[in-house]
Structure formats: structure tokens, C-alpha cells
Structure 1
Amino acid sequence: MLAPLTHRPSPARVALHAHLMSHAAGTPGDEFFAHLIAGWTLGDGMLPADLGLGAERFAALIARHFPGLVWRPSADLAPRPELFPEFEDLVRFLAAEADPAQPGAADMAVVLATACMGAEHLWQDLGLPSRRELSQLIALNFPALAAANTHDMKWKKFLYRELCQREGIYVCTSPSCEACNDLALCFGPEV
């Protein structure tokens, strides 16, 4: 269960989230997928209608997390993440970090990679109400990554940094984050 929100989401978002949750299967990931779908429906974030999963996989996600819900995503399937050269690498990296015991974690790897193609903070590109939900989503689906972000680095920057380091690519020229001129860009508040 998510921690209580510290701000008020719109009444439309609350109603749609409640409707989705009334069909929830009872898995811990249900609430996160309800947030993602509600965000997309209300025009928040940059995810396509199928959350980047493709129509068949999205239909399976709906059946698994919201049995009995009739949901027809629109034809809006842009952006096309496969056009970004790092997309498949990011999916593989996240899939390798996904908790195999968590239903939906493999799907969440694709959804996160898709949202990483956006230009805003990751929680905004996902259409989530706040960064807190993103941190909880990552802790549930990718616990080792959540534990590794010990200094609360912005999630998109953290994921790319981890991916690059695992590939042996070191983009930062500073010996440590604390010595970097861009410290505030990576660790500053997300507004």
C-alpha cells in the first residue's frame, strides 16, 4: 500500500484511480499500474496508451492486475521508444534488476524504460502524482536499485548512471558527486 499523499490529486484522478482499484487483483503492483493508467487517461506524463508494452502485453497486464475491467486503449501509441538507441539496453538493465517474485515487475521495466525517453523528471513522464510514488514503485519492483540510490539521486539520472557504469561507460568527469559542478542537477529538488 502506498503512503498517504501529501498533496491533493484532482477529483477526476481520485475517481479514476478508485474505479481501477475496484477491479484490482490484490497484488502490490495494482496500485502503481492504476496510477499510471489514471495519469495517462488524464493527459499526465508522456507514456503511450499501452504504456509502451504493445497492445497484447498491455491487455495481459489489465487482465492480470484488473480482472473484469473492460479497457480499450486509444490508438495513440506514440512515442516509439525503439527509435531511441538506448531503449533496449535500458529494458535489459531494468529487467535484470526486476524482482522476479513481483507480478508485473518485468512489465514495469518496459514502462520505466519508455518513460525514460521523456524530457521531464521520471515521475512526471510516468504521469505519477509525485516522486514519492515513483520511489515506492522502484522499491517494490527493483529493490536492489532502490537500495543503491543511497543519496536520493533523481531517478532518471540514477538509472542512466547505473546503466552506463555497468556497461563500463563513465560520463562524469568528477571523481565524486560531491566534487561535481552539476551536483544540484542530479540531487536538487524535483519541481
Structure 2
Amino acid sequence: MHVNLLVEAERRDPNLMLLRTTLGALSILAVAGLALHGIFVFSTLQAVQRRQHRLQAQWETLAGDHARATQLETARESLARVAADLAAFSNVQVHAASRLLALAQGVPADVQLTEVVLQHTLTQEDDRPARRYAWLVTGRTATEQGEKRVRSLLEALQQVPPPDDFGTVVPGGIRIDPQSGAVMSSIFDIRCRLAPRRFP
């Protein structure tokens, strides 16, 4: 025989009790989850701070080397610019010694050179700055067969091989020397135009 001594108002709804139990368990789990999340965030933050301290220490160690490397790179760039300028300057220069030697070897015995001048002008070639050189050769020779000797000198200059050639050799003419007081001596001039030498 079962006697229920609870009045109707004192009876508990089993669904309500289950809900309360579930909510309590969920609350405990939520608190535990938040605690674990807080521990994870804290440990991660500590790890990040430790790594930051290590990186800071490494940077302080490497800062001097970095500054030195920056100085060396700046010096290298400066030297590279100087080397490029020197290369550009060298590219537009004419080596006169070898040409003067070739000129001396090509002068006939009866020809006397009185002046050899190397002229140059700045110009533009293919929209780039360039330097144009010209040799001006003047001399004196006997009037008799003077044209033949000057022509021999012209041919000698035209036959000089590159890179020490005289370019385009143009005779300026031969005429009686007005200062000689006689027709036995003539003067001549020759112009040699070299190809323009461009700056890189």
C-alpha cells in the first residue's frame, strides 16, 4: 500500500528538476570553459611576451651589424656610381699616344710636321651625349712632288687599323708657304675626323 503524504502544491515537476540540473551542469561547464580559455589566453600572452623579449635581445645584438651592413651598402652604391662615371669617362677618351706613334711612322722623309692638334666638341648622338674628336695635322714639304708626298701621308693615315685609326681623313689642301719667300716650300693641312664616342 502506497500513501502519498505530499499535497498537490508540494509536488515537484520532474521536467523542471531536470531543467534545473541541466542548467546547473551547463553553468559549471561554462565557468570551467571560461577558466580554461583564460588560462590559454594567459599562457599564450606569456609565450608571446617571452618571444618578444627574445627577439628584442636578438635585435639589440644584430643592430650593430645591421648598421654596419647599411653603411657598407651605401659605400658600395657610391663606389658603383663612381665606377660607372669612370667607365663613361674612359669610353669617350681617345688614346693619343698610339695614334701619334702611327702618325710619326707614316710621315715621309721629305715631310716636316709643324703642328698636330687634337680637337674635341660635345654633341648629341642618338639622344645621348657624345664627344667628337678631330686631328688637325699641318706640315711643310718641298713644292716639287709635294702633292705626292702629302698623298703618301694621307694613305698612311688611312691604313692605320682600329682601334687606333684616324677615322675619316680629309686633305685640307697644299699651298705655297707665304713665309718662305720662295716657291720651293709648300704647306699643307690634313683633318682626321674620328667617329663620335658616346657616353653609356
When normalised by structure 2's length, the TM-score is 0.22
Q: Which structure is larger by alpha-carbon Rg, 1 or 2?
A: 2
Which protein has greater RCO, CA pairs closer than 8 Å, 6+ apart?
A: 1
When normalised by structure 1's length, the TM-score is 0.23
